[in-house]
Amino acid sequence: MLAESLALSAVLFTIGVIGVLTRRNAIIIFMCVELMLNAVNLTFIAFSRYYGAAGQVFVVFVMTVAAAEAAVGLAIIISIFRHRQSVNLQNINLLRG
């Protein structure tokens, strides 16, 4: 069971990384990051079968923090939307040099 769970979470994590690197919509990038976090949660749960409850406690922390991060992140995305009427990163290029 452990090997399968770890393989699945590694695949999910990789999909998340590829999504962050290839997509240009801020909301979709953020969803890919959440996918990466959930892949990590799966890893923790898989290990906690062998090592006890610490892994599960960690998952609760990760979910709480992800919720807080989502609140702040969506607020930031809204504030950029107010300026540009778009959340596409290709249009967001004031800072460079």
Size of the site for another protein (CB under 8 A): 42
CA distance 72 to 67: 9
CA distance 56 to 45: 6
Residue 25, classed as helix, strand or coil, is strand
Distance of CA 37 to the CA centre of its chain: 5
**1 in contact with another protein (CB under 8 A):** no
> Contact positions toward another protein, by CB under 8 A?
6, 13, 16, 20, 26, 29-30, 33, 36-37, 39-40, 43-44, 46-47, 50-51, 54-55, 57-58, 61-62, 65, 68-69, 72-73, 75-77, 79-80, 82-84, 92, 94-97
